[in-house]
Amino acid sequence: MKIVLSLLAVWVPCILCDPMNFKPEIPLTTSFRGLRTATTVTLSKPVCVFIGGDIVEVFGVQSTAPSIKNKIGNSNVKSYQESRGGELEPYHAGRFGNPLCTSLPFRINANPVLSPAEIDSYLFRAGNDVKCLKKIDDGSGICNAPLNGNASYRFKFALRNSTTRLIVSETLWSEPISLIQASDYRVINTQVGYRTGGMVVITTILIILLFLILCAFVISLVISYMNGEGPVIEQQPVPRTYVTHHRNEDYAETLTTVGPRSTAQQQPTEPSLYQIIEKSA
């Protein structure tokens, strides 16, 4: 879940603070969302708190762990896997450079390219690395794996000198920080009596709209019938039948009795025709 930022400041410089009186905490502002989720916690970095080192180490532990030392010191800290995610004792959760001490409050930058870098300068998110359990251990023992949503956690910052590799100062443990508990979908009651107000309103509006549409449809049908504009049934054309040839029975009987005329009687030849004409002349 991304953090939504505003133009307001999220911290007040703690100049000359005593590290032993400082406790890591969630930014005290309502301008951010997602500071606590089901698996992550966003902490304010110790700005203007440490002097004399350049590396800040982050340690986490479940608040119910049986062994929580007040000081980490330079003793070896177990890994996330060895401590079972902080269930038994503190584990090494992260590392970042000692923030620069400045009197300027954190403000959102209009340039989206610069905003992530500025956010990283002021905030640290515990439980943000979902792949650390699958990575090959580089020897640092750092694993910022997602936190257990059923537990509350405490965190500590410690300043390390990269030259001597020794921790020179550290803060107190934070107060127990609980995560947001996500509801199991299997236990959500879906009975009518447990519907939300929004669901009831939306369902009622949809039913009313459907009823109005049905009423308008019925009224339109009644008006069309009253005006004689009912549905017109198109009559199919009746196919016409006719007889292509009628037999003349009388003519057929005459032909049978008389018989066909000879060819000479039917059509006189040209010489005989001329003879008839000459005789008549």
Tokens of 1: 């879940």
Which pLDDT does position 214 carry in this prediction? 92
Which pLDDT does position 196 carry in this prediction? 66
To which residue do tokens 């910052």 refer? 157
Which pLDDT does position 19 carry in this prediction? 59
Which pLDDT does position 199 carry in this prediction? 77
Q: In which element (H, E) is residue 123 found?
A: strand 123-126
Per-residue pLDDT of the chain (281 residues; tens, 9 = 90+): 333 333 333 444 444 445 578 899 998 766 667 788 889 999 989 888 888 888 999 999 999 998 888 888 888 888 888 899 999 999 999 999 998 886 566 565 555 555 677 777 888 999 988 888 887 767 778 899 999 888 899 999 999 998 888 999 999 999 999 988 766 666 666 665 556 667 778 888 999 999 999 999 999 888 888 887 655 556 666 666 655 555 555 555 555 555 555 444 555 555 554 455 445 54
CA distances to 16, 172, 215, 244, 271 from 241, in Å: 115, 110, 50, 10, 52
Decide if 92 contacts 72 (C-beta within 8 A).
no
Report d(CA 193, CA 199) in Å as an integer: 11
Which pLDDT does position 231 carry in this prediction? 54
Decide if 42 contacts 10 (C-beta within 8 A).
no
Decide if 93 contacts 126 (C-beta within 8 A).
yes
Decide if 140 contacts 160 (C-beta within 8 A).
no
What's the gap between Cα 174 and its chain centre?
Answer: 35
CA distances to 161, 186, 203, 211 from 200, in Å: 61, 22, 5, 17
Other CB atoms within 10 A of residue 165 CB: 9
Which pLDDT does position 275 carry in this prediction? 54
Domain ranges of the chain: 1-201
Residue 54: name the closest of 106, 93, 10, 95 by CA: 95
- Amino acid, single-letter form, for residue 65: A
Report d(CA 198, CA 206) in Å as an integer: 12
Which pLDDT does position 33 carry in this prediction? 73
- Amino acid, single-letter form, for residue 129: D
Report d(CA 170, CA 135) in Å as an integer: 28
Report d(CA 192, CA 227) in Å as an integer: 46
Q: Give alpha helix (H) positions in the chain.
A: 115-122, 197-226, 249-258, 263-266, 270-280
- 257: three-class secondary structure by DSSP: helix
Phi, psi of 59 (to 5 degrees): -125, 145
- Bridge-based pairing state of the strands 55-62 and 123-126: unpaired
Exposure letters 59-85 (e unless 16+ CB within 10 A, then b): bbbbbebeeeeeebeeeebeebeebeb
